[in-house]
Amino acid sequence: MSQKIMMETKKLNKSFHFPVIKDLDFTVQRGDLILIQGANGCGKSTLLKIISGIMKPDQGEVVFYEPYKIGALIENPNFIENETALYNMKFLIELTTTFDIGSVQKYFEMFNLNIRDKTRVKKYSVGMRQKLGIIQAVMEDQNFILFDEPTRGLDRASVAVFENLIHTLNKIEGKTCIICAHDGVQGIKFNRILEMDDGKLIEESYL
Amino acid sequence: MLRYYFKTFKSFWFLLYMAMIISTFIKYEWSSVNISVPIDDWLITNHMITMFTNNAFLIYSFVRTAALERVIDQVIVRIKEERAIAEMIKISCLDILLYISLTYLILLAINSSSIMSLGVVIIFLAMNICLFAIYEILFILTILHRIPLSFALIPFILNILFHYTVIPMIFY
């Protein structure tokens, strides 16, 4: 797999009541599979929100060097509660393209969810919502995927499915993935592991 | 987002709003059977639109706002914030057009012969458009997480204040 810089953050700064991200320079190469670890509140979610465009940095910028389509599951997956899972997926896909049920169905089957289920999302369990959150982050052939605590609320079988999915997306399809997690991702072979501390990222291992 | 907006026309709260509009039509026609009541006077002094029709419409808008507020992050990831704001402005404009047309314009058009002063009607409609534009701005700010969702309840208070303080000061 050719290694080429896909994204770079330049001198990112973000403060709430105190600085969370400080002059953060961080590069991601195409095909990277990155684990970001760190204590609660150290700024991992904030970093993913800034990269995905949900949040604006106080200073600095995020630069992409090649075409990208971001998929993201950051914090709790939220949906239109009074609609079905299928409607929610359709709503998100139709923001950018036409809806094709086939592209979504395989992910529903993978996570043992019924795509024709008429149950409204508000009746879904935490684990089912998490599965939907994972599905929406990958269903549109996104090539730059961000996950924040993706295995939260998932049972062991679903964690294994998630690990296989990451393997397929990264090792077979060559997609770039960044995962922030404390646990539940031991089965994933990351090529980079970083520790977030004091608003900066420290490279712990690089394979 | 526009598709979701159109889908909400089938929601309970929108249907309730439609039922309130029909009730308003019936009430006006009923009250003007024996005595000719000028439609502009009736619209300004009648409490039914303020208390029932407007509140039904505001509940419908609030429920839709709360739904979009939940998914806005996923929307921004896909279409970026600038386009998301543009989509919401489109929805807001349609919302104001829909409200003014369904609540007032149809009734005024049907009963155009009983309009006493066209100037009063224009001022009244312009004030309503301004007021609903304020509501829509609050809804957009709520969806973008710039203000808490509870702020989207302010229109319910403004609706009452407008009808019982501003309208009498200007028109009575």
Q: Phi/psi of residue A177, each to 5°?
A: -130, 135
Query: Can you give the residue range of the structural domain that contains B65?
Result: 2-171
Query: What is the average pLDDT value for chain A, to the nearest integer?
Result: 91
Higher pLDDT pick, A21 / A1: A21
Q: What does the pLDDT read at residue A207? A: 64
Confidence tier at A3 by pLDDT (50, 70, 90): low
Sign of the Cα torsion A62, A63, A66, A67 reads positive
> Could you tell me the domains of chain A?
5-206 (3.40.50.300)
Interval B72-86: pLDDT, tens: 999 999 999 999 999
CA–CA separation, B111 and B93 (whole Å)? 26
Say which DSSP state B151 is in: G
Contact across the interface for A82 and B67, Cβ inside 8 Å: yes
Query: For chain A, what percent of residues have pLDDT higher than 90?
Result: 79
Is the ipTM higher than 0.95? The answer is no
Residue A1 has pLDDT above 50, yes or no: no
Contact across the interface for A91 and B81, Cβ inside 8 Å: no
CA distance to partner chain A, nearest, from residue B6 (Å):
12
Contacts of A146 (CB under 8 A, 6+ apart): A48, A51, A52, A70, A71, A72, A73, A74, A137, A177, A178, A179
- In sequence order, what are the beta bridge partners of A176? A144
Contact across the interface for A92 and B75, Cβ inside 8 Å: yes
Kind plus residue range of the DSSP H or E element containing A52? helix A44-52
Kind plus residue range of the DSSP H or E element containing B63? helix B55-100
Nearest residue on chain A to B1, alpha-carbon basis = A95
Contact across the interface for B81 and A78, Cβ inside 8 Å: no
Which residues from chain B sit within 8 angstroms of residue A95, using beta carbons? 1, 75, 78-79
Confidence tier at B166 by pLDDT (50, 70, 90): confident
Q: What does the pLDDT read at residue B34? A: 65
Two structure tokens written together for B149: 């969702």
Interval B8-65: pLDDT, tens: 999 999 999 999 999 988 888 887 766 777 888 888 888 888 888 999 999 999 999 9
Q: What does the pLDDT read at residue B110? A: 87
By the 10 Å C-beta count (0-12 exposed, 13-18 middle, 19+ buried), A5 is classed as middle
Two structure tokens written together for B83: 């386009």
Contact across the interface for B78 and A136, Cβ inside 8 Å: no
Interval B103-132: pLDDT, tens: 999 988 988 888 888 898 999 899 999 999
Angle ∠(A16,A152,A9) on CA atoms, nearest 5 = 40
DSSP string, A79-144: --TTSBHHHHHHHHHTTTS---HHHHHHHHHHTT--TT---BGGG--HHHHHHHHHHHHHTT--SE
CA–CA separation, B52 and B14 (whole Å)? 12
Residue A2 has pLDDT above 60, yes or no: no
Sign of the Cα torsion A179, A183, A186, A187 reads negative
B77 at A interface, C-beta within 8 A: yes
Interval A82-141: pLDDT, tens: 999 999 999 999 999 888 888 899 999 999 999 999 999 999 999 999 999 999 999 999
Q: Which residues of B53-91 are buried (b: 16+ CB within 10 A; e: fewer)?
A: bbbbbbbbbbbbbbbbbbbbbbbbbbbebeebeebbeeb
B146 at A interface, C-beta within 8 A: no
Interval A175-190: pLDDT, tens: 999 999 877 688 899 9
**Report field, pTM of the whole predicted structure over 0.90:** no
Two structure tokens written together for A82: 């009074």
Contact across the interface for B71 and A71, Cβ inside 8 Å: no
Higher pLDDT pick, B97 / B29: B97
